[in-house]
């Protein structure tokens, strides 16, 4: 990393206002992986708008079968980088699952997920959900409304199953957060039992995103947490009802990242900068002029080589509203955020939140100090690379000085209680105090031994 930082310093020194930065690329032919979700949009836009080419990069984008295949591709070098679950670089770097040092110089988006339940579950939840004056359900909807449904399943000796996309996905942690905030236990992990179902009221398991609606329709799962367009697909197919978006769960929460191996960044520092520049430009394009480019982005994403869902399905969330039931469309202008609110800056506090959730549910089996959380965040999230790329864009006249948090220490201001569904604030600088404040989950010296929490 020392070599990389020296190179960044040298590159910045060469910058002159108004002149394009000519970087000597160590590698100019690159292959990036993605999963068919709308939040891969910065990659598609950087390709289609020519931002990669502007940096001298010849990029191939390849859809991947699932998140594990994608991560393995980055680790073994088949992929030079990828659209990743934010938990993947962190988990790999601490050796949970696959061990490899993966970093991120670019956060891809905020929000973008939802939780959907089957029509049958929704029907049973409805009597427990407050109504607005016009008779529609009051949002956000608490998982407390699902408690009687889960209890009825238990009484009949049936498991209540829900799907999420990967054990270290935002979706897993958001679904767990929503369930726990409503009084339902989503289960623990232990080193001996990686199902995540120890002591669970609701049993969570992995389902690839594009297969979510079909798995719900088949009755294998009773609900799921996934990114778009797969919640809106359930509405269009008439097989399920989204009950909450992650924007309503935790306002402007972090989502995907662009991940590369630390070795790639070390060996290709200028290429890493060039890629980051192109992705920042793509994110700016996606949000500029109050989302004026979103219809064009939806057309791009609807192509089979990208997401491949119908234009109308993708447009539902990408153009500022969300449909919960047929005809019940509600304005959520920030459902997908790609650049506003410093969405692309890789904040250490975002990394720390993911690590707290890994500890909360037992994926990190032993207690860790606050200093450890900070150390891992800094090992994986690389705002120095991001800001070096941003500085070049400003110097080239392609971005404004005010677009970037130059003076940040890498931590966001604490998320206020009003922005989170359970009313519990989050401060990334005090991870253990945060864990103590959550009523359900491991805290302090607690560990999972067998099927019991000890300590």
Q: What is the pLDDT of residues 432-452, one digit of tens each?
A: 999 999 999 999 999 999 999
The pLDDT of residue 210 is: 87
146 and 49 both lie in a single domain = no
The pLDDT of residue 256 is: 97
41 and 51 both lie in a single domain = yes
Q: What is the pTM of this model?
A: 0.94
What domain range includes position 317? 2-111+254-324+332-403
125 and 240 both lie in a single domain = yes
Whether the bond into 81 is cis, omega within 30 of 0:
no
The pLDDT of residue 316 is: 87
Q: Residue 154 in contact with residue 194, Cβ under 8 Å?
A: no
Give the mean pLDDT of 248-260: 97
- Contact residues for 292 (Cβ-Cβ < 8 A; gap 6+): none
Distance CA 265, CA 258 (A): 12
In the chain, the number of structural domains is 2
82 and 211 both lie in a single domain = no
Q: Which residue has the higher pLDDT, 113 or 15?
A: 113
Count of CB atoms situated within 10 Å of the CB of 326:
10
Residue 445 resides in a domain: no
Helical H runs in 55-196? 67-76, 87-94, 119-125, 147-155, 170-181
pLDDT at position 11 over 60: no
302 and 347 both lie in a single domain = yes
Distance CA 261, CA 104 (A): 8
Q: Residue 106 in contact with residue 279, Cβ under 8 Å?
A: yes
The pLDDT of residue 19 is: 46
pLDDT at position 5 over 70: no
Task: Report DSSP state, residue 43.
Answer: H
pLDDT at position 223 over 80: yes
The pLDDT of residue 21 is: 64
234 and 312 both lie in a single domain = no
Phi/psi at 87 (nearest 5 deg)? -75, -20
pLDDT at position 18 over 50: no
Buried b (16+ CB within 10 A) or exposed e, 209-248: bbbbbebbbeeebbbbbbbbbbbbbbbbeebbbbbbbbbb
The pLDDT of residue 280 is: 98
138 and 105 both lie in a single domain = no
317 and 396 both lie in a single domain = yes
pLDDT at position 8 over 90: no
Average pLDDT of the chain? 94
Give the pLDDT band of residue 195 (cuts 50, 70, 90): very high
The tens digit of pLDDT for each residue in 25-50 reads 999 999 999 999 999 999 999 999 99
The pLDDT of residue 436 is: 98
Distance CA 363, CA 448 (A): 10
pLDDT > 90 fraction of the chain, expressed in percent and rounded: 93
CATH code, 8? 3.40.190.10
98 and 159 both lie in a single domain = no
């Amino acid at each position: 990393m020392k070599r990389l930082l020296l190179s960044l310093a040298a590159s910045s020194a060469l910058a002159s206002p108004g002149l394009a930065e000519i970087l000597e690329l160590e590698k100019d032919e690159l292959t990036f992986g993605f999963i068919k979700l709308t939040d891969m949009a910065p990659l598609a836009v950087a390709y289609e708008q020519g931002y990669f080419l502007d940096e001298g990069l010849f990029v191939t984008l390849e859809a991947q079968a699932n998140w594990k295949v994608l991560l393995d591709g980055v680790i073994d070098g088949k992929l030079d980088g990828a659209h990743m679950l934010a938990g993947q670089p962190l988990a790999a770097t601490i050796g949970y699952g696959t061990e490899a040092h993966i970093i991120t110089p670019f956060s891809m988006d905020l929000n973008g997920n939802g939780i959907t339940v089957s029509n049958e579950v929704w029907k049973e939840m409805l009597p427990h959900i407050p109504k607005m004056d016009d008779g529609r359900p009051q949002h956000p909807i608490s998982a407390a409304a699902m408690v009687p449904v889960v209890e009825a399943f238990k009484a009949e000796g049936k498991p209540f199953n829900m799907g999420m996309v990967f054990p270290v996905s935002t979706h897993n942690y958001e679904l767990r957060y929503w369930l726990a905030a409503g009084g339902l236990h989503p289960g623990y992990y232990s080193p001996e039992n990686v199902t995540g179902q120890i002591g669970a009221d609701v049993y969570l398991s992995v389902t690839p995103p594009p297969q979510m609606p079909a798995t719900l329709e088949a009755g294998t799962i009773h609900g799921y947490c996934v990114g778009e367009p797969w919640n809106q697909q359930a509405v269009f197919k008439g097989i399920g009802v989204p009950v909450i978006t992650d924007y309503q769960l935790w306002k402007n929460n972090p989502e995907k990242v662009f991940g590369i191996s630390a070795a790639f960044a070390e060996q290709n520092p200028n290429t890493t900068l060039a890629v980051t520049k192109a992705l920042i430009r793509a994110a700016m394009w996606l949000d500029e002029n109050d989302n004026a480019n979103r219809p064009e982005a939806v057309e791009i994403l609807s192509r089979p080589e990208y997401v491949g869902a119908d234009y109308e399905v993708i447009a539902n969330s990408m153009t500022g509203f969300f449909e919960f039931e047929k005809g019940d469309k509600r304005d959520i202008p920030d459902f997908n955020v790609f650049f506003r609110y410093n969405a692309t800056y890789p904040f250490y506090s975002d990394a720390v939140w993911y690590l707290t959730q890994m500890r909360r549910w037992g994926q990190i089996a032993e207690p860790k100090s606050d200093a450890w959380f900070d150390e891992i965040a800094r090992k994986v999230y690389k705002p120095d690379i991001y800001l070096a790329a941003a500085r070049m864009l400003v110097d080239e006249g392609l971005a404004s000085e005010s677009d970037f948090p130059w003076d940040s220490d890498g931590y966001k201001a604490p998320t206020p209680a009003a922005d989170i569904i359970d009313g519990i604030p989050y401060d990334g600088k005090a991870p253990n105090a945060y864990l103590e404040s959550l009523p359900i989950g491991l805290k302090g010296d607690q560990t999972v031994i067998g099927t019991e929490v000890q300590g």
